């Protein structure tokens, strides 16, 4: 009985990931900083997305079980916890959308070429006395 319950709890809170693919890189292959950034971005996005999906699934399963408890007990506390779970589910769903938006912005930022600044600064420094500066100005005029 205890083993069945602990297994059920483990499956509820730690579901198996359905799609987990690992990217393997050869030790002799050197990646540029941009490629490394891109790879880390992709990996972090996938990990965050999988984690959020796992939290959503777990919250939905927990909510289903809680609804059964709410029906059986009519406890005000059960309804309060149910409300909190719904709020959590809504918040996590918003987080998923935010991750997609941030990821899209980072991808766009990477795809935009860097703006080249074609300004030229001509700075002339005179080291001398005021008298010498005035003589130089008179000579050029």
Which domains are delineated in the chain?
32-112 (1.10.287.1060)
pLDDT reported for residue 112: 63
**pTM of the entire structure?**
0.54
Q: What region does 11 belong to: left with phi over 0, alpha with psi -120 to 50, or beta?
A: alpha
pLDDT reported for residue 36: 83
C-alpha distances out from residue 15 to 10, 19, 59, 81, Å: 7, 12, 12, 22
**DSSP character for 67?**
H
With tokens 């609804």, the residue in question is 67
Nearest partner of 66 among 56, 57, 77, 55, judged by Cα? 77
pLDDT reported for residue 37: 80
Residue ranges of the chain whose pLDDT lies below 50: 1-2, 18-28
Q: Taking a C-beta distance cutoff of 8 angstroms, is the pair 41, 33 a contact?
A: no
pLDDT reported for residue 1: 47
**DSSP character for 128?**
S
pLDDT reported for residue 136: 85
């Amino acid at each position: 009985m205890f083993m069945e319950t602990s297994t059920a709890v483990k499956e509820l809170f730690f579901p198996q990931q359905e799609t987990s693919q690992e990217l393997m890189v050869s030790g002799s292959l050197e990646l540029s900083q941009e490629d490394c950034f891109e790879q880390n971005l992709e990996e972090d996005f996938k990990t965050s997305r999988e984690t959020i999906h796992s939290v959503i699934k777990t919250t939905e399963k927990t909510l289903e079980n809680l609804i059964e408890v709410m029906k059986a007990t009519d406890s005000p506390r059960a309804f309060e916890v149910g409300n909190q779970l719904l709020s959590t589910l809504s918040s996590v769903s918003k987080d998923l959308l935010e991750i997609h938006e941030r990821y899209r912005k980072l991808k766009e930022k990477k795809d935009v070429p860097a703006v080249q600044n074609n300004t030229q600064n001509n700075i002339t420094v005179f080291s001398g006395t005021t008298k010498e500066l005035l003589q130089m100005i008179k000579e050029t005029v």
